Amino acid sequence: MSPLRRFLRTPEAVAGAILLAALIAMALSASLLFPGDPQAITGPALLPPFQDWSLPLGTDRLGRDVLAELFHGARTSLAVGLAAAAAALVVGAVVGTLAGFAGGLVDEVLMRITDAFQTVPSFLLALAFVSVVGPSLGVVVIAIALGTWTGPARVARAEVLSIRERDYVAGARVIGMHPLAIAFREVLPNALPPVLAMSSVIVAAAILTEAALSFLGLGDPNRVTWGGMIAEGRAVLRTAPFLSIVPGIALVLTVLGVYLAGEGIVETTAVRRGLS
């Protein structure tokens, strides 16, 4: 059975993939369906959902279109989540590979740095970093990555430590390959699968961290974010709960989708590796 077919046979994986596809479709179509500034005032303030079909999800305190905000917020969530996770995975894989392959002093130094990062709660780290440097999309991405690269680094190092002892690495040394070429061409690609298996959890965590930062007012002020929308709605939670509930549901579904799809991919590839 091909991996794709096995993936499609797992109901959770398919549900996750559909959710994820919907999120991506929202992000991609945001500027087509809702051209112009999503933060522009388009109607009366605090219009409840399903009243006016030109504003299906109603408006917020300032009269901004909630649906447009939701679509544009999907962009931010997805961009920040993917970028932060990618940064964390790349940094983690490189650090872990160098530490595991070089061993000795390099390993000691890199792993103590990893320890230092791991002892600080990652959200606190992100919070501190954004407050010091100032909120912008790039800074938020770096702030989230700062707290999450340590996991991939540890997994990559453990994997590299076992691969390093294999004959083919000795074989690469015997033909005179440069140590860095061995580490990154021969060892790293074979150490990646378990590191990549962590990506769904990391993406989901990054999306949540971004929402939390925005909720606390530390997101990019020029962009709509779901966390920011929830924070906005908090002031009128009793009178207009939908302002918090709508982006909240979007967030839950996104994290669930990323997680389920990721698990599905990991499981299908694990089965394939188990068979070979």
Partner 1 sequence: MTLLAVSNLTKRYRRGNKTIAAVDDVSFHIDPGETLALAGPSGSGKSTIARLALRLIEPDDGRIDFEGGDFLALSGAALRARRARLQMVFQDPLAAFNPRATVARVLDDPLRIHGIASRGERPRRIAALLERVGLTADLAPRAIHEISGGQRQRVAIARAIATKPSLIVLDEAVSALDVSVRGEILELLLDLQRQEKIAYLFISHDLGVIRSVAHRVILLDAGRIAENGDARTVIDAPQSAIGKALVAAAPRLNRTGP
Residues that bind partner 1 (CB under 8 A): 166-168, 170-178, 186, 189-190
Torsion angle in degrees (nearest 10) through CA of 110, 116, 119, 125: -110
Long-range Cβ contacts of 180-188 (<8 Å, 24+ apart): 182/101, 183/97, 183/98, 183/101, 183/102, 184/97, 187/97, 187/101, 187/160, 187/163, 188/93, 188/97, 188/156, 188/160
Distance CA(259)–CA(270), nearest Å, equals 16
Q: Which of 59, 76, 79, 78 is nearest to 67 (CA)?
A: 59
DSSP letters, 120-156, are S-HHHHHHHHHHHH---HHHHHHHHHHHHTHHHHHHH
Minimum distance of partner 1 from residue 188's CB (angstroms): 11
Minimum distance of partner 1 from residue 96's CB (angstroms): 19
Minimum distance of partner 1 from residue 142's CB (angstroms): 32
Nearer to partner 1 by Cβ, of 132 and 175: the residue is 175
Distance CA(250)–CA(210), nearest Å, equals 14
Nearer to partner 1 by Cβ, of 186 and 220: the residue is 186
Nearer to partner 1 by Cβ, of 67 and 195: the residue is 195
Nearer to partner 1 by Cβ, of 25 and 170: the residue is 170
Nearer to partner 1 by Cβ, of 9 and 178: the residue is 178
Minimum distance of partner 1 from residue 166's CB (angstroms): 6
Minimum distance of partner 1 from residue 169's CB (angstroms): 9
**CA of 122: how far to CAs of 132, 149, 220, 259, in Å?**
15, 10, 19, 20
Nearer to partner 1 by Cβ, of 145 and 172: the residue is 172
Minimum distance of partner 1 from residue 172's CB (angstroms): 8
